[in-house]
């Protein structure tokens, strides 16, 4: 299997979740081994995708430095992960990605419009060779060795609509599109009111998130999946794992995981070379993993 970039440049305009302002997003092809590179067009600032670039994880995954940042990259990166794209320039003209409908499906459609171009170099993946876990109280995220790629997530919210939910996702591009990509982010009305008083979440609406009060869902159309909440957590996890710069061969397991725990996990993983091996897909024994990108 070869490295992938997009076949042609594409762009779209959407609203930023926190500032509520229009953001232009443009995707451009890059050469082999260039990686995923974010670019703030308004600041002429390039930000390489790496855990070292992460500067905030409180409400979303944010990359940047003292010169500028880009927020809420995880939904977009989940689509990049699912499509197996290795090299691409991601250009925005503001400090956050457009939120679109609060899921990753719009980014999938954008990548479909761009098309996929295979490149000369072999695709490399990050193979987990030793279990790595980050735990805070009862919450944990874990990567463990496996010849398949799975995401196993459990949540437990003290809310009558959410409660306990579990989902196990066996990774494939088609599976992501059908089972995960349309799951939207969610928020509670009382939290949104506070955030907006702090000039945050100004772009949040029922068109780009699932809204909940203390008892019910506020969206008149209801849910897209019965367990949409935990499916979105898996979406977030795929995006946060993509911050490593690679697709991952291994099992991801989480209970009440978060952007912060995911960041700590990728950082701990890459901090010790005994935890992983970077290998070409051709060298792996798992033929099914290569087929998952079909």
Which of 72, 96, 122 terminates a domain? The answer is: 122
* CATH number of the domain enclosing 105: 3.30.230.20
Same domain? For 233 and 113 the reply is: no
174-208 pLDDT tens trace: 999 999 999 999 999 888 877 778 777 788 899 99
Same domain? For 279 and 197 the reply is: yes
Same domain? For 152 and 261 the reply is: yes
| Active-site annotation holds for 75 | no
Q: Answer yes or no: is pLDDT of 286 > 70.
A: no
Other CB atoms within 10 A of residue 103 CB: 26
Domain around 100 = 2-122
Same domain? For 139 and 254 the reply is: yes
Among the listed residues 18, 75, 232, 259, the single catalytic one is 259
107-127 pLDDT tens trace: 999 999 999 999 999 999 999
Q: Answer yes or no: is pLDDT of 145 > 90.
A: yes
Same domain? For 134 and 274 the reply is: yes
Same domain? For 27 and 75 the reply is: yes
Same domain? For 6 and 94 the reply is: yes
Domain count, the chain: 2
Provide the phi-psi class of 8: left if phi over 0, else alpha when psi is between -120 and 50, else beta. Answer: beta
Residues 6+ apart with CB under 8 A from 222: none
For the full predicted model, state whether its pTM sits above 0.75. yes
Which of 75, 104, 122 terminates a domain? The answer is: 122
Same domain? For 18 and 118 the reply is: yes
Same domain? For 112 and 209 the reply is: no
């Amino acid at each position: 299997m070869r490295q992938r970039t997009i076949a042609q440049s594409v762009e779209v305009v959407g609203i930023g979740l926190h500032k509520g302002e229009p953001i232009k997003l443009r995707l451009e092809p890059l050469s082999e081994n260039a990686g995923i590179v974010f670019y703030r067009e308004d600041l002429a600032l390039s930000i390489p995708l790496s855990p070292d670039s992460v500067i905030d994880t409180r409400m979303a995954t944010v990359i940047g430095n003292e010169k500028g940042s880009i927020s809420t990259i995880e939904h977009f990166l989940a689509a990049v992960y699912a499509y197996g794209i290795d090299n691409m320039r991601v250009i925005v003209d503001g400090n956050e990605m457009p939120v679109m409908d609060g899921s990753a499906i719009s980014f999938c459609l954008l990548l479909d419009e761009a098309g996929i171009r295979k490149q000369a170099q072999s695709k490399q993946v990050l193979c987990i060779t030793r279990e790595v876990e980050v735990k805070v109280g009862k919450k944990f995220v874990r990567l463990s060795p496996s010849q398949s790629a799975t995401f196993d997530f459990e949540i437990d919210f003290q809310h009558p609509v959410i409660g306990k939910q579990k989902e196990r996702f066996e990774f494939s591009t088609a599976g992501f599109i059908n089972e995960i990509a349309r799951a939207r982010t969610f928020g509670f009305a009382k939290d949104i009111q506070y955030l907006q008083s702090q000039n945050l979440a100004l772009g949040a609406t029922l068109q780009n998130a699932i809204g909940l009060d203390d008892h019910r869902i506020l969206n008149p159309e209801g849910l897209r999946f019965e367990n949409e909440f935990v499916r979105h957590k898996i979406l977030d996890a795929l995006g946060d794992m993509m911050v490593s710069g690679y697709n991952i061969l291994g099992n991801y397991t989480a209970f009440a995981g978060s952007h912060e725990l995911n960041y700590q996990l990728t950082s701990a993983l890459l901090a010790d070379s005994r935890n992983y091996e970077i290998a070409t897909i051709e060298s792996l024994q798992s033929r099914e993993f290569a087929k998952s990108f079909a």
